[in-house]
Chain A
Amino acid sequence: MVQERRLGYAFLAPLTLLLLGLAVFPGLYAYYLSALDASLETFRSPRFIGLANYVRVLTDREFYGAIGFSVRYTLIVVTLELVLGLALAIALNRELRGKRVLISLLLLPLMVSPALLGIMFRLTLNEFIGTVSYYLRAAGFPGNLLAPPYVPYTLMTVDVVQWTPFTFLILYAGLRSIPDEPVEAAIVDGAGGWQILRFVVLPLLRPLLLTAAFLRGIDAFKTFDTIQILTAGGPGSLTTTASIYVYKTAFLTGHLGRANAAVVILLLLLSIPMSRAIRHILRSTP
């Protein structure tokens, strides 16, 4: 018995060490740094300054601007990605010629790294050499979608283009796993297409919809790469996300302590809705 327990610990040890090293230690270190006047120059001998970093972050208008933009961005892109992903999943959940090829093509944006996608869009949206801009201008629309006031919506569109395949994939798998009987029973009862979707399919897909929304929500909130490449958070702070705010605070303005305070505040702010969301998902998962 004792030997079995030891063996259990031995098997657990590598993963536990990995978690301690890559998650717990950096997490605790972030708390530690947030109370110091730490920068790359003073990294070895930082001063303890208590809650000063927190006060500074909490009185910074730009911090709230970044959170506000991240929240708006997340709500809009996640909603669009869920709706489009579901629509695509329903559209492809039938026998179609060339369906496999179509699905493979649909998944392509997922395979591209966000930074690379940012560079691709920087080229395609360029008003002189970009194909998208060319056709937009030819159709009488504004030629540059990276200029205000369109830029936030352009960034959201880029996110939707990249990540709708992800929600599609999850929801398509969910649709394929729905048994035929409830749908057939609804048809026998005289339900129309919309009613079947509303009262049969969506309730059955609910756990997957929540999971997809949760995963995309986390990811969208911490978006960095694409926006950094396309606008670097500007003009001004118009498209600065929480991640870009933290990055700039840490590496451009050089305040490692203040950046970590911002991270801790974000963690605290997000922990309540996150824990509720996780509880909700776990409860609604059979």
Chain B
Amino acid sequence: MPELRTRGFLALFVALTLLIVPAQVASQTPATIRMVYWPGPESDAMRKVVDWYNAHRSAADGVKVEMVLFSREGFFDKEATVLAARSPEVDMVFTASYILGRHAPHMDSLEKVVAASGEGSLQVFLPSARDSLSFQGKPYAVPMDVSNHFLYYRSDYLNRLLTDSAWQRRYSEVAQRELGKALSPKKPEDWSPDDFVAAALFFTKTINPDSPTEFGTVLQAKNLIFNVMIWDNFLYGLGGSWFRSGFQPALNTPQAQKALDVYVTIMQKKATPAGSTSYEYGEANEAFRTGKVAFMVQWSAAFHELDDKTKSPMVAGNVKLAPVPGKKTHVHALGVGISSYSNTKPAVQKWVRFLATTQAMRMYADAGGIPPVRAALANPALAKQRPEFPLIAEHVEKYGYVETTIAETVPILEILAKHLSAAWALQVAPKIALDQANGEITQLLKEKGYLK
């Protein structure tokens, strides 16, 4: 009998051990969350933050972050497919301002996830970057990387234009002869779109044989949505925008016509390389890097390589930044948000709150990212290595605008890319291109219920 009792106790002990120990172990094992990212400098920077978090905070928070990289080609299409399938495999969605409208229906708003103010809140981020990842007035993603545009110019040439009286006279002659306008040289920081065109003509050898560069500028005129974002700066800088009130398209306005004329005039006068119609980011950089052009409007990410003596020996040291003429810069952000289909939301929310701190963003910036956080970008130690960072913070704050984040953002960009690229290539008259774009956007927005 005692033997039986002993056996009974033993059995009970074993059963309890089997039941309790795994539960204990499970409660100590951090919940793993899977965050999708695309490969490149952004994921390299994020990797450092993830590694730090997993090493120092994982145990306390009970969260382990795992990064999953999808290839960059067709990234958002793949991610949208995963979301459309309502897959719980992905806990955190990598998104961008221009695609947020499509992702947002599959994501949780961060409104109640992050703190209302201070550290752990979205107040840490610059307002336009925050807006660029908001949908219908609610935040959906933590802005990790911000992109904007600058006027990149050759300071050696532009400084001479401001001091050399012979150049100044020639500049005014060129402006009068080619554009019929009385213009005189100004500092690039004060340029209007008219000054941009006049300077482009002055620095073009076929128009001004004394020009030190073959072309004044280089336009990115390929049929590509990212090239529309660059052109948008002129539209917004001239007082235009995509919409009038209530999503009524405003692409057939005098402002849009004038913004398009900036490109068309430069194309007609051959102040940009002939191949510009097939140019995007990389080609424009090559034109600048090889010393063929005096200035260009380009993405903020280019400065790092154009001012690098090993990568761009012909121009490094003479590359300066100014606001895009018209003083407006398109802003979009890449960010991460919570998938509605995640099974580990409490864990994901902890990670989100960590990301919304200056500490995490400084780490991200140190690792090569461009977080839209003033405290991170204006950090003097970092600014020594990346002198453009404080300017990014300043320009995004002062001149930044977001076109829209509705689900139709990419289709609108696509319509604009199709029609504007035809006008840029001088294949279609500007007015026709704008009217057609306006008509197609109107039809699209009617179909989607934005317009009656």
* Contact among B105, B222, B273, B275 with A234 in the assembled complex (CB-CB below 8 Å): B222
* Contact among A125, A232, A254 with B102 in the assembled complex (CB-CB below 8 Å): A254
Task: Give a binary string over B54-68; 1 marks a CB under 8 Å from any A CB, 0 the rest.
Answer: 000000000000000
Determine the chain B residues whose CB is within 8 A of the CB of A151 once the complex forms: 277-278
List residues of B whose CB falls within 8 A of some A CB: 74, 77, 80-81, 83-84, 86, 102, 105, 221-225, 273-278, 283, 286-287, 290, 292, 407-408, 410-411, 414-415, 417-419, 421-428, 444
* Contact among A40, A128, A234, A253 with B425 in the assembled complex (CB-CB below 8 Å): A234
Determine the chain B residues whose CB is within 8 A of the CB of A126 once the complex forms: 275, 283, 286
Q: Which residue of B lies closest to A250 (CB)?
A: B77
22 A–B contacts, CB within 8 A, in A order: A40-B80, A41-B105, A62-B418, A127-B274, A128-B290, A128-B292, A143-B275, A144-B273, A144-B275, A144-B278, A151-B278, A232-B223, A232-B224, A233-B418, A234-B222, A234-B277, A235-B221, A235-B222, A238-B427, A248-B414, A251-B77, A252-B410
Beta-carbon contact of A253 and B222 below 8 Å: no
Beta-carbon contact of B224 and A148 below 8 Å: no
Instruction: For the complex formed, measure the closest distance between the CB of A155 and the CB atoms of chain B, giving whole angstroms.
Output: 11
Beta-carbon contact of B418 and A237 below 8 Å: yes
Report whether over half of chain B's contact residues are helix, strand or loop; otherwise say mixed.
helix
Beta-carbon contact of B290 and A144 below 8 Å: no
Determine the chain A residues whose CB is within 8 A of the CB of B423 once the complex forms: 236
Whether A50 sits at the interface, judged by CB under 8 Å, is no
Whether A267 sits at the interface, judged by CB under 8 Å, is no
With A and B bound together, what is the CA distance between A40 and B407 in angstroms? 10
Whether A263 sits at the interface, judged by CB under 8 Å, is no
Determine the chain A residues whose CB is within 8 A of the CB of B77 once the complex forms: 251
With A and B bound together, what is the CA distance between A232 and B422 in angstroms? 12
With A and B bound together, what is the CA distance between A242 and B195 in angstroms? 42
Beta-carbon contact of A236 and B422 below 8 Å: yes
Whether A43 sits at the interface, judged by CB under 8 Å, is yes
Top 6 nearest A-B pairs (CB, nearest first) are: A234-B223, A236-B422, A144-B275, A235-B425, A146-B278, A253-B411
Instruction: For the complex formed, measure the closest distance between the CB of A267 and the CB atoms of chain B, giving whole angstroms.
Output: 22
With A and B bound together, what is the CA distance between A236 and B276 in angstroms? 13
Q: Which residue of A lies closest to B290 (CB)?
A: A128
With A and B bound together, what is the CA distance between A236 and B86 in angstroms? 36
A231-B223 contact in complex given A126-B286, A128-B273, A143-B274, C-beta closer than 8 Å = yes
Instruction: For the complex formed, measure the closest distance between the CB of B220 and the CB atoms of chain A, giving whole angstroms.
Output: 12
With A and B bound together, what is the CA distance between A127 and B279 in angstroms? 11
Whether A142 sits at the interface, judged by CB under 8 Å, is yes
With A and B bound together, what is the CA distance between A167 and B424 in angstroms? 38
Determine the chain A residues whose CB is within 8 A of the CB of B222 once the complex forms: 231-232, 234-235
Determine the chain A residues whose CB is within 8 A of the CB of B277 once the complex forms: 146-148, 151, 234-235
Beta-carbon contact of A235 and B223 below 8 Å: yes
Most B CB contacts (10 A, CB to CB) among A43, A44, A126, A142 go to: A126
With A and B bound together, what is the CA distance between A236 and B433 in angstroms? 9
Task: Give a binary string over A137-156; 1 marks a CB under 8 Å from any B CB, 0 the rest.
Answer: 00000111011100100000
Determine the chain A residues whose CB is within 8 A of the CB of B290 once the complex forms: 128-129
Q: Which residue of A lies closest to B224 (CB)?
A: A232
Instruction: For the complex formed, measure the closest distance between the CB of B46 and the CB atoms of chain A, giving whole angstroms.
Output: 25
Q: Which residue of B lies closest to A146 (CB)?
A: B278
With A and B bound together, what is the CA distance between A208 and B77 in angstroms? 40
Instruction: For the complex formed, measure the closest distance between the CB of A154 and the CB atoms of chain B, giving whole angstroms.
Output: 9
Determine the chain A residues whose CB is within 8 A of the CB of B426 once the complex forms: 148
Beta-carbon contact of B419 and A128 below 8 Å: no
Given contacts A148-B425, A235-B424, 16 further A-B pairs with CB under 8 A are A41-B84, A41-B407, A122-B278, A126-B283, A128-B273, A144-B275, A146-B277, A147-B275, A147-B277, A148-B277, A234-B417, A236-B421, A237-B223, A253-B444, A254-B410, A254-B411
